[in-house]
Amino acid sequence: MDNRENHVSIELQESASAEPVPDLLKLITSNEVVVFDTIMPESETSVPSNGHQRKFSISISMPSSPTGAASAGTKNVLDVEDNGKGFNDSSSVEAPSKPKPKGDKFLSQPMPKGSVFGEAAPNIKKLKDKRFNSFKTWSGRLERQLSNLRGRQESESESEEESTQNLGREAFPVDRYFNALEGPELETLRASEEIVLPDDKTWPFLLRYPISSFGICLGVSSQAVMWKTLATATSTKFLHISLTVNLILWWISIALVAAVSSVYLTKVVLYLEAVRREYYHPIRVNFFFAPWIVLLFLALGVPPSVATTLPVALWYVLMTPFLFLELKIYGQWMLGDQRRLSKVANPTNHLSVVGNFVGALLGASMGLKEGPIFFFAVGLAHYTVLFVTLNQRLPTNETLPKDLHPVFFLFVAAPSVASMAWANIQGSFDYGSRITYFIALFLYFSLAVRVNFFRGFKFSLAWWAYTFPMTSAAIASMRYSSAVTSVLTQTLSVILSVVATLTVTALLVTTIVHAFVLRDLFPNDIAIAISDRKPKPQNR
Amino acid sequence: MAAVVTSHAELQLVVDTPAVDSGGVAVDRIQCSSCLISTILTKLHAGYFRVSLSLGGQALLWKTLRGPTDDTHTLRQTLHLFHPTAFTVLWCFSFFALVLLSVLYLLRCLLHFKMVKEEFFHHVGVNYLFAPSISWLLLLQSAPFFTPENHYSYVVLWWVFSVLPIVVLDVKIYGQWFTKGKKFLSAVANPTSQLSVIGNLVGAQAAANMGWKESAIGFFSLGMVHYLVLFVTLYQRLSGTDRLPSMLRPVFFLFFAAPSMASLAWQSIAGSFDTTSKLLFFLSLFLFMSLVCRPTLFKRSMRRFSVAWWAYSFPLSMLALASMEYAEEVKGDIPHLIMLLLLAFSVLVSICLVVFTLLNSKIQLLSVCFDPISSFVSRAKCFTAHQNEQPSQTV
């Protein structure tokens, strides 16, 4: 019954207005389909609560949808309101903006708030804000508290707060991401899917700020390490590179890390829900390892003029949260049900594994013995598993891109860092290190000769993360050529360093172009805004 | 095999059915004790060797603890004062338990060979056929009066328990992994498959202790190669569900038993706890932490006592043993602290298991089917027995 009404409403609406069907309606029909019982524990949502999808589906099927169409100018205010996710506040704000029979709209609705009708014209600005409330921490209550503290008075009534529900506290099933998104970084929305946030407006900056921004820090900090090695390694001393380059790059990295971390921390504080959704994204979750890797690189690349030896406690401080994170993620691979490795394996998982080797490298260079071996062991075991899984390209694995993509460069990262770590642990660049180094070299070349295929991809900030394997390979080559000095090895290390630097420069230029000229460095982050219900296929 | 295709829900039903009418069965018991023996024979399966595995592991642990050591740390010296008689008692207790189980299992082979064959064809049961060999090897190594170098009998026993059963089973099972149609590794892999790896590694350690380096390396490489394959397969979890009923979750502890055993075996081969052993030990420690951080995984299996609970003890003993060797190699406070914690944990778990088993033994004698593998393997008979209140079964 609801279906039919929805169908009716949609047809009506389509005829009523030229505007595209608001996302809301599509979402509403999807509410009929209870697909994931993991998502909605039917919480004891009171009637005013917006968290309960079914209530809304019923209300939405009201023939008031033509009004929805008419008010499509306020776009997706509707969807916000009725979305099962609990965008509650919007209902209060959309009403006034709608031209006329808002009354119809909410007749059958279990009224979330009586304030809907009584709303004076709220300004459009607040209207916009409310749409993103469900993504905010505690659905906007924190923000309100903060702004209240600052002295700004909110005109919204308290009733909005009651109906605020946090979007699914329960885990977002990974299948949802696979079904809704596609592409090598799982960024592009499939044609049949809709998102819960308005597509045509630019979202708040924080919502558009993905965790893959830490990739920039990765790229730059690994460059700092590379230039330090260039200046200090015995095999490249003939180049007479000064340590100033390392110093400059290091300070730039520090600044970048500070900037990116503070922005992302703000996002964590204000938009916790968006951060959660990134955590459940099968590709983005690996970037949660990136901050720790960056800090480790910074410690590795510290210029001698700043500090010659670092305190050992620093290593423990850096590796402890890393240990907890990997206990969680690796455990999911092995013991979890929906996030098991055969299903979610993708090249970005290398970021989860390479951190072990970077930590081992740092610890061994600080003089520790047992801790580095611990992380090396863990990294080696899990790298073996990951390597085999990715090379198998299992048919059950949906995330592997069919074509080459810069993400494949991450394959080179783990063996190159592992070879350096093992060299530091053993004290010299022995057979184990050489074996892993040659593996890294082979992978690098097999990708480099296919560089023609790396075309036609949309630039994203995550590409910075893919430069650090090239840099690591260059550093490993320098270490190797220090052990086995010959013209060939020295040439190789110089060439690799040059390639790495050129790539980073090209990326820098592209980033600047996107940031200031094209102004689309931070597009709407579709990947986190997918709905938790598959939309019902419409006869459109 | 009906049991294999049975859904888990059905299995749970059978397992959770309480021991019915103990009164009626008790009457029967009074009437014919031979029926009881028969019941035991039908109910016994290779999974019961977990008990002897655990006891053997504990015996080996305590023997190493008491044995000569270079470790001068106060902690180790204190533990050195463990009374020798207590250890002998422990060893004798394990020995008798193992003899009893072996005899019963032998009888089962003779009288109910069909059931043993069923076990062999089951993807979980087949791995426990390694358990008797492993237990005997552990006891051999921990025997208080045997020293490997001197006794010819040690060699003979090693051959009897190690080469023959383990190699034969190896050839059969590992060969099946990549050749036989329905028994591909990707179809049958489950955490208990690591028992085959552990069998090879224990054989390697025993051989190395005897001084037979080449056999030791042979067994070690055999075990490690298959461990690599198995580790990757188990991590990938291709088949989706675990193919393991939740009552058997304790066998997940085998995940860290295999690397611990490998680290100990490599130590015997190489002569000292070198970097390879350390790598394996750390891997095992990490897997242990992973599992211990997830207690909800085992919640379901802890509701009722079953012989699967004994699967907790052996891996812990092996990990404690490896940590002991590690602490001896890397002198320091933290390794000794880890050793103490693991030691305490393994002893505690073993004692609890013994207590629980004794408490439940009464029910065990009387109940029809209360452990998962038995019902898993012979569900129909179990259920029928339940219905008919017939303690005696004939194949």
Rounded to 10 degrees, the C-alpha dihedral B158/B163/B164/B170 comes to 140
- How confident is the model at residue A278, as a pLDDT? 86
B255: which chain A residues are within 8 Å (Cβ-Cβ)?
334
Q: Is A483 exposed, middle or buried (0-12, 13-18, 19+ CB in 10 A)?
A: middle
The label of the residue with tokens 């990765």 reads A218
Could you please report the per-residue DSSP string of A251-318? HHHHHHHHHHHHHHHHHHHH-HHHHHHHHHSTTGGGGGGHHHHHHHHHHHT--TTT-SS--HHHHHHH
Q: pTM value?
A: 0.75
Give the chain A residue whose CA is nearest to the CA of B288.
Answer: A327
Closest to A329 measured CA to CA, from A351, A313, A301, A308: A351
The helix (run of H) or strand (run of E) holding residue A189 is strand A188-189
Report the Cα–Cα distance between both ends of chain A, in Å, rounded: 19
pLDDT interval class at A201 (50, 70, 90): confident
DSSP result, A397-430 = ---S-SS--GGGGGGGHHHHHHHHHHHHHHSS--
Determine if residue A138 is left, alpha or beta; phi over 0 gives left, psi from -120 to 50 gives alpha, anything else beta.
left
A73 pLDDT above the threshold of 80: no
Q: Is A370 exposed, middle or buried (0-12, 13-18, 19+ CB in 10 A)?
A: middle
* DSSP tag of B313: H
Residue B172 within a domain = yes
In a domain, B311, yes or no: yes
Which pLDDT tens digit goes with each residue over B214-271?
989 999 999 999 999 999 888 887 655 556 787 888 889 999 999 999 999 999 999 9
Percent of chain B predicted with pLDDT > 90: 29
Residue B31 lies in a domain: no
Q: Which residue has the higher pLDDT, A505 or A450?
A: A505
User: Mapped to the 3 state alphabet, what secondary structure does B213-260 carry?
Assistant: HHHHHHHHHHHHHHHHHHHHHHHHCCCCCCCCCHHHHHHHHHHHHHHH
* Residues A35-59 pLDDT 10s: 343 333 433 334 443 434 444 444 4
C-alpha B248/C-alpha B252 separation (Å) is: 8
Using the structure block, give the residue that is written with the tokens 């997706």. Answer: A76
pLDDT surpassing 70 at residue B59 = yes
CB A386 within 8 A of CB A353: yes
Residue B227 at interface with chain A, using a CB cutoff of 8 Å: no
Tell me, yes or no, whether B215 lies in a domain: yes
Q: Provide the shortest C-alpha distance from residue B280 to chain A (in Å).
A: 7
Alpha carbons B210 and B147: distance in angstroms, whole number: 9
- CA-based nearest residue in chain A for residue B239: A342
Q: Which helix (H) or strand (E) holds A431?
A: helix A431-448
Instruction: Kindly indicate the confidence band of residue A470, based on its pLDDT and cuts at 50, 70 and 90.
Output: very high
Query: In this complex, do A378 and B286 lie within 8 Å of one another by their Cβ atoms?
Result: yes
Q: Tell me the average pLDDT across A190-198.
A: 74
Residue A461 lies in a domain: yes
CATH assignment of the domain containing B180: 1.50.10.150
Amino acid at position A471, single letter = T
Of B279, B293, B330, Cβ closest to residue A376? B279
The pLDDT tens digits of the residues spanning B266-297 come to: 999 999 999 999 999 999 999 999 999 888 88
CA angle B313, B316, B322 (to 5 degrees): 145
Q: What is the DSSP letter of A154?
A: P
Range of the domain at A360: 205-528
Nearest to B314 by CA among B3, B77, B67, B54: B54
Q: Which of B228, B236, B285 sits opposite A341 (nearest CB)?
A: B236
Q: What is the mean pLDDT of residues B84-95?
A: 87
Contact A293, A351 (CB under 8 A): yes
Residues of A with CB under 8 A from a CB of B: 327, 330-331, 333-335, 340-342, 345, 369-370, 373-374, 376-378, 380-382, 384-385, 388-389, 394, 396, 425-426
CB contact under 8 A, B231 and A384: yes
Q: Any idea of the CA torsion for A174, A179, A185, A188, to the nearest 10 degrees? A: -140
Q: Average of pLDDT values for A219-224?
A: 92
Q: What is the CATH number of the domain that holds A493?
A: 1.50.10.150
DSSP for A87-141?
--HHHHHHHHHS-S-HHHHHSSS--S-THHHH-----HHHHHHHHTGGGSGGGGH
Whole-number Cα distances in Å, A14 to A18, A20, A29, A30: 7, 8, 15, 18
Task: Return the structure tokens found at A524.
Answer: 């709407």
Sign of CA dihedral A243, A245, A248, A249: negative
Listed residue (A17, A75, A343, A54) closest to A194, CA to CA: A75
Nearest to B279 among A340, A373, A382 (CB): A373
Residue A463: the pLDDT is 82
Interior angle at CA A213, CA A207 and CA A216, nearest 5: 160
Number of alpha carbons in the 13 Å side-chain half-sphere of residue B179: 6
**Rounded CA gap, A463 and A216, in Å?**
8
Residue B377 covered by a domain? no
pLDDT for the residue numbered B122:
84
ipTM tops the 0.90 cut: no
Higher pLDDT pick, B314 / A163: B314
Contact B293 A381 (CB under 8 A): no
CA distances from residue A172 to A36, A107, A528 in whole angstroms, order as listed: 9, 32, 11
Q: Is B254 within 8 Å of chain A by CB?
A: no
In a domain, A115, yes or no: no
- Confidence category of residue A539, pLDDT binned at 50, 70, 90: low
Closest CA to B142 of B243, B60, B241, B39: B60
- In the chain, the amino acid numbered A443 is L
B336 part of a folded domain: yes
The answer as to whether B130 is a domain residue is no
Single-letter amino acid, residue A115: S
Find where tokens 């776009």 sit.
A75
Instruction: Say which range, A129-133, A513-517, B124-128, has the weakest mean pLDDT.
Output: A129-133
In a 10 Å sphere around its CB, with 0-12 CB exposed, 13-18 middle and 19+ buried, how is residue B34 labelled? Answer: exposed
pLDDT of residue A398: 63
C-alpha B197/C-alpha B222 separation (Å) is 8
Question: B206 phi and psi, to 5 degrees?
Answer: -65, -40
Which pair of tokens denotes residue B290?
Answer: 């992973």
Domain residue limits at B295 = 147-367
Range with the poorest average pLDDT among A32-41, A277-286, A373-382, B81-90 = A32-41
Of B235, B285, B290, nearest to A385 by CB-CB distance is B235
> For residues A518 and A516, what is the distance between their CA atoms, to the nearest angstrom?
6
Overall domain count for chain B: 1
Highest mean pLDDT: which range of A135-149, A511-525, B320-334? B320-334
Among B149, B18, B42, smallest CA distance to B390 is for: B42
Cα(A206)–Cα(A263) distance, rounded to whole angstroms? 8
Q: Which range among A204-213, B160-169, B332-341 has the greatest average pLDDT?
A: B332-341
Give A190-256 as a DSSP string.
PTT--BSS-SSSPPPGGGG--GGGHHHHHHHHHHHHHHHHHHH-GGGGGG---HHHHHHHHHHHHHH
Tokens of A174: 């990974």
Give me the number of domains chain A comprises.
Answer: 1
B292–A contact, CB cutoff 8 A = no
Residues in chain B: 395
Q: What angle do CA B205, B207, B211 make, to 5 degrees?
A: 115
- Taking CA–CA distances from B282, the nearest residue in chain A reads A374
Q: Summarize pLDDT for A89-101 with one digit per residue, the tens.
A: 333 333 343 444 4
Q: Decide if B19 is inside a domain.
A: no
Per DSSP, the three-state class of A530 is strand
Span between the terminal Cα atoms of chain B, in Å: 15
Give the pLDDT score at B114.
86
In which band, very low, low, confident or very high, does the pLDDT at B8 lie, cut at 50, 70 and 90? very low
- The confidence score (pLDDT) of residue A222 equals 93
Q: In sequence order, what are the residues at sequence separation of 6 or more whose Cβ sits closer than 8 angstroms to the Cβ of residue A510?
A: A459
DSSP B305: -
